[in-house]
Chain A
Amino acid sequence: KNEVEQSPQNLTAQEGEFITINCSYSVGISALHWLQQHPGGGIVSLFMLSSGKKKHGRLIATINIQEKHSSLHITASHPRDSAVYICAVEKGAQKLVFGQGTRLTINP
């Protein structure tokens, strides 16, 4: 079993829909990261969380440390949000353990 599990693996939605991607982990962590990867390769760090909730524009990330669970929400989704979203946990300094990623497609 992977230490970091994401769901769903693939998600297709219509423009404007509210999107939720989930991440569960089974190990003790110091922080959790949400990353975005567009086709072509570049990875962008969206959030780093150790507790609570963070918001940046239309993106919201939450984490429940007791339940070892995090969610990434996208409000008013847009085709440019189409990308792979990766959850990664920081087990120790400098070492990230990655989930398998969620491939999101937003259709116009």
Chain B
Amino acid sequence: DTEVTQTPKHLVMGMTNKKSLKCEQHMGHRAMYWYKQKAKKPPELMFVYSYEKLSINESVPSRFSPECPNSSLLNLHLHALQPEDSALYLCASSPGDESSYNEQFFGPGTRLTVL
């Protein structure tokens, strides 16, 4: 299995809602990433988990809360979002061994619309 899966594919939520995005991989990768991508822009790194511990937080607002329950699963909890948070949210994983290559495998993304 060389796939990263993300659910849901699309999500529409109000500014007072609480929702979660889910990402899963079964490649034995130990690093997992959340990216945000606005239209016609490159992805922006949000968070990195390495061996289930948060290793990078790119000064993301607290209304985004990541969670890594186990090495295969990564969640992004959303609360009190703003319309400008509407974007494609991409998950990725990589082997995570800092001494070797780190090709990242991307999921298909969740397209989020905040009303």
Residues of A whose CB lies within 8 Å of any CB of B are 31, 33, 35, 40-45, 48, 50, 86, 88, 90, 93-96, 98-101
Contacts and interface: CB of A to CB of B under 8 A. Distances in A.
Interface of B: 31, 33, 37, 40-43, 45, 48, 50, 55-56, 88, 90, 92, 94, 96, 98, 101-109, 111
Contact of B102 (A31, A40, A41): A31
28 contacts: A31-B101, A31-B102, A33-B103, A35-B106, A41-B108, A41-B111, A43-B43, A43-B92, A43-B106, A45-B103, A45-B104, A45-B105, A48-B102, A48-B103, A86-B42, A88-B42, A90-B102, A93-B98, A93-B102, A94-B48, A94-B50, A94-B94, A95-B45, A96-B104, A99-B42, A100-B41, A100-B42, A101-B40
Indicate the member of A48, A96, A99 with the most B CB atoms within 10 Å.
A96
Contacts of A101: 40, 42
Contacts of A94: 31, 33, 48, 50, 55-56, 94, 96, 98, 102
Contacts of B107: 42
Main secondary structure of the interface of A (DSSP, over half): strand
Contacts of A98: 42-43
A77 B73 CA distance: 38
Indicate the member of A35, A41, A86, A96 with the most B CB atoms within 10 Å.
A41
A45 B42 contact: no
Given A43-B106, A100-B42, A101-B42, A48 B90 contact: no
Contacts of B111: 41
Nearest to B99: A93
A53 to B, nearest CB: 16
Contacts of B50: 94
A49 to B, nearest CB: 10
A96 B42 CA distance: 11
A40 B6 CA distance: 14
B1 to A, nearest CB: 16
